[in-house]
Structure formats: C-alpha cells, structure tokens
C-alpha cells in the first residue's frame, strides 16, 4: 500500500515522533509531506523515510483562530493544496497526522479521489481549541475521512462529543521500540556526573515548555520537598511559548530554587536521561491526549507520576504502575515526590510492574499490526 503521510510540523512533537514509527514499515513506498521545514525532516531522513517539504512558510491557522482568520488562511493554502493533490494521485491513501494536515488532506482526498485516514492526536475540546477550529476539524473528518484513528479513548470521546461520527473511529495507542529504552549503568552514571546529579533525588520532566504542560506546577511542588530533591526540565518551547519560558525562570529565581532546577533544552537522549531520574513527573493542567512521556518513563523502569485527566488515566493505575495526582495541585504532587523519596522499595515494585505491562501493551510491532489491519480493511469494500 502506497501511503502519502501529511504533517504540518517541521518540529518533532509527540505526534511527529509517533508518525516515524507508523511510517517506517511503509518507507519503501511511502512519502511524508511536511508543511514546514525543520529538524523533524532530518529525523525522518535518519530513519530512511522519504520526506518532502511541500511548503516552507508557516501556515497561519492557530489553535484559537476565528472563522475569518481561518477563511483568510485558506487563500494561502491554494499552492500547497495543488501540490498535495498532484502528489496524492501517485499514492493509494492520504494519512493526515495533524489538524492542518486534515484540512489539506480532506480537500486533496476529494480532488484526487483517494481515501483519507485522520490520525487524531488531540483532544478536540474548548480547553484546547477555538470553536471554529473544532467545527472545521469535525466537519472535515465526518465528510471526508474513511477512518479516524484516535490516540486514546479520551481523544475518541472528545471527538464524538464535538460532533464526530463514532463509527469512523478506532483507538490505537502509540507504539514504542521497547529495546530503545534499555540503558546501561555506565550511561546513567556518566550522565549523572555530567549534569551534577550524583547524590540527588532527581525528578525529571520531559516535555516541550508550554503553559498547559504545567512545568510551573512541578517547580511549585519542588519548593515543598527536602533540599536533596532536584528537578530537570527536558524540552524546549517548540511553538513560540517564549513568555512561558521566561515566567518559569522568574518563578525559579523568586523561589530561590536556582540550584535545584536545571533547564536542559531539547534532547535526543531521552531514555538515558529518564534512567538517570528517580521519578518522572507529568503535570499537564489540561487533559493530555495520550502522553508519550508517561509510557517512556515506564519502559525505562522509572516510577512515574501523572496528572489525572485524559489519556494519562488510560496509562496509569494509581499505585499499581504509577501515581496519579489532581492536575494543577502542586501540594499533592509534592506528597507523591516525598513518598517516592521515602518508600523506595514499594516505588521500585510499582516501576517494575509498569515496565512489564508497558513493554507488552505498547510494543511497536503490536501497534503497527493494528494499524496495518485497519488500513487493509479500508480497501475491502
Ligand atoms: N521529547 C524529546 N526531547 C525533549 C523533550 C521531549 O525527544 O527534549 C519527546 C518525548 O520523549 C516524547 C515527546 O517528545 O516522546 C513528547 O510527546 P508527548 O506525547 O509526551 O507530548 P506532546 O509534546 O506530543 O504533547
Ligand atoms: C500529541 C498529544 C500527546 C500525544 C502525542 C502522540 O502531541 O499532545 O498527548 O502523546 O500527540 O499521540
């Protein structure tokens, strides 16, 4: 099956990292079309997945666009659409991986007469998107998609609540190459030494710096933990959230935590860094659609505490394979950090349970087989 994957981003967010694993089995006959240049293109090339940048200008539709702004941006999309339609004629399926890719993919699917698959990585709710963007996404998916793959039950439910047709949807979780998360003791001690983390209780946060990812909640929690607790913030502002980055630095300074919080920026050695942590924290203040970092922490054998909302609740069962806390509640988070600091044996058992469960449940070969079955099914009728 020849697949034309479409993704709006040149930057490697979770949806893009997931797409690498999905596109890989099809790489001999697939193409990933991006709407922006950037490091994601390089990553695809490193994985030998054919990639082409269809547009080099950033497309101006934002998560909170109103109808007028959305219509105005349609004009800019004409050359991009023409390119996608022409390319799509050489492929069997169009696979849209993001919302702007859905807009172009839907129109291209109609014009080039190719079926459309929409991989939904978002919770389509007013907490995350404007009413206009929700309406556009749901209307286009309902009218043009043959299949909507939701990355969690939470994303699937939100799609239906926003007016999406339930019968189009299937839930497929992200898959992971389990062996990539096995690290050696020497990797870990090397990193700990390099980052000055020896003898500390390290809480890691792995996410782009964005207000709803809630790094500020972890910093507030840290102020309520003993001095040996240190935080590493791994990730960068991928989508222009510079004000938030500044706020985080100000918060750290105001709380006198400069020696206990390290900003490491965007990194590509996530498994090693996670393994160098004693606990991984996920602190999203809005419901997380899936939450790759939660699964990754489990695969690294590290205990994870996650904000109890959205997809995270499908990944973590409290005190069985991790911990759940109320989103936005720094005090509750501090309590879990302190429990992990004191009760190391119970915490290690929970982390080891999590690793065993996650290695089976999110194995990329199993997940890719689910996607292959769904795609084959598209052509049965
Ligand atoms: N990540 C990364 N380097 C960083 C920070 C994060 O490679 O410095 C990865 C992380 O390992 C995860 C992804 O980015 O695979 C983020 O995905 P997630 O689903 O957690 O959140 P998203 O950003 O997609 O909302
Ligand atoms: C999106 C979501 C994230 C999810 C990822 C992969 O970026 O924000 O929760 O894990 O896609 O599906």
Does this chain's domain 3-175+363-379 share its CATH topology with 178-361?
A: yes
Interval 173-213: pLDDT, tens:
999 999 999 999 999 999 999 999 999 999 999 999 999 99
Pocket of ligand 1 (CB under 6 A): 13-15, 17, 206-208, 234-235, 266-267, 270, 290-293, 296
Q: Which ligand is nearest to the CA of 268?
A: 1
- Whether 61 shows a pLDDT value over 60: the answer reads no
The region, left, alpha or beta by phi > 0 then psi within -120 to 50, assigned to residue 50 is: beta
**What is the CA(287)–ligand 2 centre distance, in A?**
11
Give the per-residue pLDDT at 239. 80
Interval 308-353: pLDDT, tens:
999 999 999 999 999 999 999 999 999 999 999 999 999 999 999 9
Which residue is it, tokens 């997380």?
288
Q: Name, in order, each residue with C-beta under 8 angstroms of 140's C-beta and a sequence gap of 6 or more.
A: 102, 103, 106
Which atom of ligand 1 lies closest to the CA of 121? 24
Domain 3-175+363-379 is found in CATH 3.30.530.20:
no
Q: Name, in order, each residue with C-beta under 8 angstroms of 179's C-beta and a sequence gap of 6 or more.
A: none
- Whether 69 shows a pLDDT value over 90: the answer reads no
- Whether 30 shows a pLDDT value over 80: the answer reads yes
* Per-residue tokens: 138: 């749901």
Q: Which ligand is nearest to the CA of 175?
A: 2
Which atom of ligand 1 lies closest to the CA of 294? 20
Superfamily name with CATH number, domain 178-361: Glycogen Phosphorylase B; (3.40.50.2000)
- Whether 60 shows a pLDDT value over 60: the answer reads no
Contact call for residues 248 and 220 (beta carbons, < 8 A):
no
Interval 351-370: pLDDT, tens:
999 999 999 999 999 999 99
Mean pLDDT of 210-218: 98
- For 95, the enclosing helix (H) or strand (E) is strand 93-96
Interval 75-99: pLDDT, tens:
678 899 999 999 999 999 999 999 9
Q: How far apart are CA 180 and CA 182, in angstroms?
A: 6
- Whether 123 shows a pLDDT value over 60: the answer reads yes
Mean pLDDT of 236-264: 95
Give the per-residue pLDDT at 77. 82
Q: How far apart are CA 183 and CA 195, in angstroms?
A: 17
* Per-residue tokens: 246: 């500044």
Q: Which ligand is nearest to the CA of 155?
A: 2
Mean model confidence pLDDT for the chain: 95
Q: Name, in order, each residue with C-beta under 8 angstroms of 83's C-beta and a sequence gap of 6 or more.
A: 54, 55
Give the per-residue pLDDT at 71. 61
Contact call for residues 331 and 308 (beta carbons, < 8 A):
no
Q: Name, in order, each residue with C-beta under 8 angstroms of 303's C-beta and a sequence gap of 6 or more.
A: 278, 279, 280, 297, 322, 323, 340, 347, 348, 350, 351, 354
Domain range summary for the chain, segments of one domain joined by +:
3-175+363-379, 178-361
Mean pLDDT of 149-164: 98
């Amino acid at each position: 099956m020849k697949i034309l994957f479409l993704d709006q981003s040149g930057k490697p967010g979770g949806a893009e990292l997931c797409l690498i694993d999905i596109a890989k089995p099809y790489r001999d006959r697939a193409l990933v079309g991006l709407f922006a240049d950037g490091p994601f293109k390089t990553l695809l090339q490193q994985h030998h997945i054919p990639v082409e940048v269809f547009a080099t200008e950033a497309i101006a539709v934002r998560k909170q666009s109103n109808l007028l702004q959305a219509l105005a941006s349609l004009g800019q999309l004409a050359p991009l659409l023409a390119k996608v339609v022409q390319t799509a004629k050489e492929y069997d399926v169009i696979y849209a991986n993001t919302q702007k890719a859905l807009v172009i993919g839907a129109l291209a699917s109609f014009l080039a007469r190719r079926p459309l698959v929409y991989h939904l990585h978002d919770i389509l709710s007013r907490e995350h998107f404007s009413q206009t963007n929700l309406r556009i996404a749901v209307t286009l998916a309902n009218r043009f998609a043959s299949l909507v793959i939701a990355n969690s039950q939470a994303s699937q439910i939100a799609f239906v609540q926003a007016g999406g047709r339930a019968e189009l949807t299937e839930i497929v979780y992200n898959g992971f190459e389990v062996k990539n998360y096995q690290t050696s003791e020497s990797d870990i001690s090397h990193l700990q030494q390099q980052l000055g983390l020896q003898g500390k209780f390290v809480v890691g946060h792995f996410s782009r710096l964005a207000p709803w990812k809630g790094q500020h909640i972890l910093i507030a929690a840290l102020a309520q933990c003993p001095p040996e607790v240190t935080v590493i913030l791994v990730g960068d502002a991928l989508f222009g959230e510079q004000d938030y980055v500044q706020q985080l630095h100000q918060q750290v300074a105001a709380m006198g935590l400069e020696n206990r919080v390290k900003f490491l920026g965007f990194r590509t050695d996530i498994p090693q860094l996670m393994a160098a942590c004693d606990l991984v924290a996920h602190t999203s203040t809005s419901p997380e659609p899936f939450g790759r970092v939660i699964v990754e922490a489990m695969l690294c054998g590290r205990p994870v505490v996650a904000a109890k909302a959205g997809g995270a609740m499908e990944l973590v069962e409290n005190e069985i394979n991790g911990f759940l806390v109320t989103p936005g509640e720094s005090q509750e988070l501090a309590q879990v950090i302190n429990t992990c600091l004191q009760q190391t044996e119970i915490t290690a058992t929970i982390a080891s349970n999590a690793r065993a469960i996650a290695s089976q449940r999110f194995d990329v070969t199993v997940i890719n087989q689910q996607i292959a079955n769904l795609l084959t099914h598209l052509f049965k009728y």
